[in-house]
Amino acid sequence: MTGKRKDTLSNVKKVLIKIGSAVLTGEDGLDLAIIDQLVDEMAGLSQKGYQIVIVTSGAIASGRHRMGIQGPVKSMPQKQALAAIGQGRLMRVYSNAFGRHQLFTAQILLTMSDLTDRKRYLNIRNTLSTLMEWGVIAIINENDTVAVDEIKFGDNDNLAAMIANIVEADLVVNLTATEGLYDKNPTTSKKAKLIKLVEEITEDIEACATEDTSSVGTGGMRSKILAGKKITACGIPYIIAPGKKKSVLTAVFTGKEIGTLFLPVGKPMHSRKHWIAFTLKPKGKIILDDGAKKALIEQGKSLLPSGVLNVDGNFDVGDPVTCVDAKGTALATGLVNYSAPEIRRIMGLKSSKIEQVLGYKDYDEVIHRDNLAITGQLVKQKP
């Protein structure tokens, strides 16, 4: 075991394993042999004391095979119908496979709106932690039959990142159809080299990943890297590994240099701030002056009206909003104490003037630091 892998695995207990459609499906729909192999390994881990949560794709691919549909499915109702057909089968296969090891499974289907609502988010957290305490394997997928664009996670890599934060996972393993992250697209370049360790997801690392997907998955490597950013931001290490390789999880958990390991960022983001930054969808933008930028990022201060240069969009009190600098670079996301029209009236002013201008003053800050998640320093600019 090499140093970094060893350190990464030394205190791991809660593990989120994400399995992509391209791993789970073959020519004949769900690949039962692969699922059995992976479940045998996961059951082994569970018996060793690891708490396992699974985010799985494969419902649509399985439904498509059931219905004998070849090629991509374009219409949303068809995709949703196929997910309804395939999800039941997917769960039955997992449940039978874990049943051979006397382990129970639980199905959880989620849409984005389940997680953007703080109350429902906390309910899901409690359910998941109860399942983990009971040693039941939670098997999570997007609720594809009801999810439309506005309430979709987009892909299961993103869903896995949200769940990693909810369960406070110690490690996320993303099982995919490739060996890991390459420096170039390996399907088009013979010179592509596997990157074994990523210390930080910089713009150069992002540039290595393309949006090309397998014929059955939705994310591609790009979505795996974007998910990696969110996962490592909560202080969780992340490994992209080849899901079809025999004994892949044993290799990962014994510290073999398989796939790509992404190290967590130094100072992890608190779970609620992570929720603000990565689960909520911003409803507008606030443009900050240089003084406010410095105060937020370097001194951990709240955003005051005096630091606001402009406002973009039409948001309400309590809405999530992105704070950007004058060049448009995103710095933070926060929940606002004033609506967009109110901020337009008080921007550039001292907090002591708020009451005079608006006729009332509920808060001194436009965004209080407790409701502000700094994301700016996560993206390292190219030198």
- Residues at the contact surface with ligand GLU, assessed by CB under 6 A: 20-21, 57-61, 83, 141-142, 144, 155-156, 217-219
Tokens of 183: 């420096």
Name the residue nearer to ligand GLU (CB basis): 57 or 302.
57
- Least distance to ligand GLU from the beta carbon of 68, Å? 17
CA 105/CA 102 separation, integer angstroms: 10
Closest of 221, 323, 317 to residue 277, by C-alpha: 323
Name the residue nearer to ligand GLU (CB basis): 62 or 232.
62
Name the residue nearer to ligand GLU (CB basis): 242 or 320.
242
- Least distance to ligand GLU from the beta carbon of 67, Å? 13
- Least distance to ligand GLU from the beta carbon of 21, Å? 5
Q: Are residues 15 and 45 in contact, defined by beta-carbon separation less than 8 angstroms?
A: yes
Name the residue nearer to ligand GLU (CB basis): 109 or 286.
109
CA distances in angstroms from 87 to 30, 107, 139, 179, 240, listed in the order given: 11, 10, 11, 27, 24
Q: Are residues 284 and 317 in contact, defined by beta-carbon separation less than 8 angstroms?
A: no
Name the residue nearer to ligand GLU (CB basis): 21 or 333.
21
Residue with tokens 């609502």: 117
- Least distance to ligand GLU from the beta carbon of 325, Å? 33
Name the residue nearer to ligand GLU (CB basis): 141 or 165.
141
Consecutive H or E run containing 55: strand 51-56
Q: Are residues 196 and 258 in contact, defined by beta-carbon separation less than 8 angstroms?
A: no
Phi and psi for 359 in degrees, rounded to 5?
Answer: 90, 0
Name the residue type at position 343: I
Name the residue nearer to ligand GLU (CB basis): 156 or 232.
156
Residue with tokens 């949703």: 80
Tokens of 176: 């995919």
- Least distance to ligand GLU from the beta carbon of 38, Å? 16
Consecutive H or E run containing 109: strand 105-110
- Least distance to ligand GLU from the beta carbon of 218, Å? 4
- Least distance to ligand GLU from the beta carbon of 153, Å? 8
Phi and psi for 70 in degrees, rounded to 5?
Answer: -95, 150
